[in-house]
């Protein structure tokens, strides 16, 4: 059974701070890693994807992947109240069938 | 910007009834997907569909479920005899070209299904 684990939170950070969200996965054959943002009652919105070890930056977001440790993280710099949402980690392998984590709730307070 | 649409946005049904959830994928997309998310739980892959055939399906997608592309625009998910545990948000997604990974998939807004 392929598992993707996330701390459910909530993670509370002040506005302007860096939010760090973490995810671990069980399948060593995983090849693609994704971070989604999901507002309550809405569909997931893709923020970042990463395939290779290391960091990938896009604006205020940085995804970090460490395949040896089976660990992927998302950093949000200069957090804004509008970033308050649930962040989903998803992982897929060669079959393209993704496995999602249950998500981490992020609260950015003014 | 093109988008995936889903109807209805909310559906309430009685246990044992059949429901059909409808999706209109983005017009030039060739791969179609259904996911579900039980309230407070993780998003779960149900099925992918290409060239009028199921490409992959999960263990959740049992004989109670079926998918169809009845015409050139719609993609439907049918649940034959709904159970209480089918209550969830159902998301349709589509992707362009061949066998897209998650990064190529556009999600619809979802249909919230409530089985009483």
Confidence of residue B19 (pLDDT cuts 50, 70, 90): very high
Q: What is the DSSP string of A54-91?
A: EEEEETTEEEEEETTTTEEEEEESS--GGG-EEEEEEE
Q: Where are the beta strands (DSSP E) in chain B?
A: 5-7, 10-13, 19-24, 29-37, 43-50, 53-57, 65-68, 75-79, 88-96, 106-107, 111-115
Confidence of residue B43 (pLDDT cuts 50, 70, 90): very high
Confidence of residue B97 (pLDDT cuts 50, 70, 90): low
Residue B88's closest chain A neighbor by CA?
A41
C-alpha pair distances (Å), A52 with each of A33, A72, A88: 9, 11, 19
Q: Which residue has the tokens 């109807």?
A: B7
3-state SS assignment for residue A50: strand
pLDDT reported for residue B51: 87
pLDDT reported for residue B101: 75
How far A67 CA sits from the closest chain B CA (Å)?
Answer: 19
Residues of B in contact with A102 (CB under 8 A): 41-42
Q: Which residue has the tokens 């054959």?
A: A29
- Alpha-helix residue ranges (DSSP H) falling in chain B: none
pLDDT reported for residue A77: 98
Residue A78 has pLDDT above 80, yes or no: yes
* Average of per-residue pLDDT across A59-80: 97
3-state SS assignment for residue A101: coil
How far A60 CA sits from the closest chain B CA (Å)?
Answer: 19
Residue of B42, B56, B100 lying closest to A101 (CB–CB): B42
Q: Which residue has the tokens 């979802």?
A: B110
Q: Does the beta-carbon distance from B110 to A90 stay under 8 Å?
A: no
Residue of A32, A43, A102 lying closest to B101 (CB–CB): A32
Per the DSSP assignment, residues forming a β-bridge with B33 are B48, B93
How far B107 CA sits from the closest chain A CA (Å)?
Answer: 7
The answer to whether B25 faces chain A, any CB pair under 8 Å, is no
* Average of per-residue pLDDT across B47-63: 92
- Contact between B93 and B33 under an 8 Å Cβ cutoff? The reply is yes
Residue B82 has pLDDT above 80, yes or no: yes
Q: Which of B23, B26, B43, B33 is nearest to B100 (CA)?
A: B33
- Contact between B17 and B35 under an 8 Å Cβ cutoff? The reply is no
Q: Does the beta-carbon distance from B48 to A49 stay under 8 Å?
A: no
- Span A9-61, pLDDT tens digits: 999 999 999 999 999 999 998 999 999 999 999 999 999 999 999 999 999 99
The answer to whether A1 faces chain B, any CB pair under 8 Å, is no
């Amino acid at each position: 059974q392929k598992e993707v684990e996330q701390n459910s939170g909530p993670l509370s950070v002040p506005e302007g701070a860096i939010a760090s969200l973490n995810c671990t996965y069980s399948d060593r054959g995983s090849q693609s890693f994704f971070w989604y943002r999901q507002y309550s009652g809405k569909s997931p919105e893709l923020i970042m994807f990463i395939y290779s070890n290391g960091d990938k930056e896009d604006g205020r977001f940085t995804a970090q992947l460490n395949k040896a440790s089976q660990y992927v993280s998302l950093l949000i710099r200069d957090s804004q109240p509008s970033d308050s949402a649930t962040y989903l980690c998803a992982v897929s392998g060669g079959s393209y069938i993704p496995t999602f984590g249950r998500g981490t709730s992020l609260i950015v307070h003014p | 910007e093109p988008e995936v649409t889903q109807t209805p946005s909310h559906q309430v049904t009685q246990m044992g009834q059949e429901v059909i959830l409808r999706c209109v994928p983005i017009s030039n997309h060739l791969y179609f997907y259904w996911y579900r998310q039980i309230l407070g739980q993780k998003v779960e892959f149900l099925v992918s569909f290409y060239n009028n055939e199921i490409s992959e399906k999960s263990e959740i997608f049992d004989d109670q479920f079926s998918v169809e592309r009845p015409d050139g625009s719609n993609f439907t998910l049918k649940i034959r005899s709904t159970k209480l545990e089918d209550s969830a948000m159902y998301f349709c997604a589509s992707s362009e070209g061949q066998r897209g990974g998650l990064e190529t998939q556009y999600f619809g807004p979802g249909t919230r299904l409530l089985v009483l």
